[in-house]
Amino acid sequence: MNREPRAGDYAELFELDSKLDRLVRKIELLTHLNPQNIEKEKNRFFASKYLFEPEFKYPKIPYDPFGLHRQFFDLPLDGIRDDRIRRLYQETVHYYSNIVQCMETIGQGRNFYFNSLRVYGTPTEKDVENARFILHFAEQPGHPDMEKQFSAQQARDYFEEFVKVYDFPLNIKFSTNIAAVAMVSNLQRSLLIKKNAQFSKNQLLILANHEIGVHLVTTYNGLEQPLRIFSNGLPKNVETQEGLAVFSEFMGGALSLKRLKQLAYRVMACDSLIKGYSFADTFDLIHGTYKLDREEAFTICMRAHRGGGFTKDRLYLSGLRKIYKRHQRKEPMEVFFTGKVALENEQTIHYLKDLGLVLPIRHHSRSFDQNLNTDKSLEFILDNLK
């Protein structure tokens, strides 16, 4: 039976968790990794006939990363008596330490790239094979739902209506300096929408299921846990969280072959980094070889090459494959909505639950209640990913 933990039972643990929380609050890598001059560099790149290497500028980090890095290793981990819990916190400290190293080296070419690899890894041969498998399918003629006809303000109205089925607030902010058209800021507990962006009806449904139905659901569930580590994020949580979010698109009837191909292009762009491709080389692969529209191709290349080589985007497709396979096996998903957690944390979460250190979740992703996908070709593709 679950029980509320008594402070005296785990005094050292809660003290450490609180100290770690104060350090992690300063970190949001994507905020500092969103170039401030995307449009300017895109125009220069197009004007150069795709030969100019963009020179992205990034926000200044308002604190000393090296000092923060040192504070992580000053945390009193030895005070945690439970070996299993101590290992979890040790792994988490190393995870955030690596993220700080990423932040220290933003814009420093291969230095940043190798730090990025420590956190997000690089596409495997299987990932690349899956991406190529997806890309060989021909898309159907354009559907009206795919036409971009909604403004950022209309998107805001749509999301405010969508969130009414959830029992948490939706704080929406407009931004000019994000790489995506919309994203959740976990620390701000906000949905950021790119100002002046245009959205299709399908894209709004994708973003609603992805950002609100998973990312905000896990944000608020994590905040309600006794340990703050669940709202900040456990190691390797990104692959699982993005996998859940894209699977939410599938279950919500929003996932399309076009969207699936976007994830495949991201894998190919990340794979180009390990081959030493320049921005122009990667763009030539995505736009020249695969014939993706140049605006979309630029965005995919920018996301992969920002900072010096950022491999996070390779995790969406592999995460989707893992979550889909779990769905096929009819294995429960609820445990992964406890907060920002990974598939690898499943048994540890159950262990903490038995100790009363993890509470039942209050918010559930509504898209997981019923499968609204009607596209059999998508099921065929997902069934055959390796």
Q: What is the pLDDT along the chain (386 residues), one digit of tens a residue?
A: 444 554 456 889 999 999 999 999 888 888 889 899 999 999 999 999 999 999 999 998 888 888 888 899 999 999 899 999 999 999 999 999 999 999 999 999 999 999 999 999 999 999 999 999 999 998 877 677 788 999 999 999 999 999 999 999 999 999 887 878 898 887 778 899 999 899 999 999 999 999 999 999 999 999 999 999 999 999 999 999 999 999 999 999 999 999 999 999 999 999 999 999 999 999 999 999 999 999 999 999 999 999 999 999 999 999 999 999 999 999 999 999 999 999 999 999 999 999 999 999 999 999 999 999 999 999 999 999 99
Structural domain count of the chain: 1
Quote the pLDDT of residue 28. Answer: 81
In a domain, 377, yes or no: yes
In a domain, 170, yes or no: yes
In a domain, 350, yes or no: yes
Q: Residue 339: which of 238, 232, 190 has the closest Cα? A: 232
Quote the pLDDT of residue 4. Answer: 53
In a domain, 4, yes or no: no
User: Global pTM?
Assistant: 0.93
In a domain, 3, yes or no: no
In a domain, 2, yes or no: no
In a domain, 1, yes or no: no
d(CA 246, CA 380): 16
- Three-state DSSP class for 199? strand
User: 363 lies in which domain range?
Assistant: 11-383
Q: Residue 305: which of 290, 286, 291 has the closest Cα? A: 286
Quote the pLDDT of residue 92. Answer: 96
In a domain, 5, yes or no: no
**Exposed (0-12), middle (13-18) or buried (19+): which is 166, by Cβ within 10 Å?**
middle
d(CA 219, CA 57): 29
Quote the pLDDT of residue 221. Answer: 97
Q: Name the β-bridge partners of 173.
A: 192
- Tell me which DSSP letter residue 374 carries: -
Q: Are 338 and 255 in contact (CB under 8 A)?
A: no
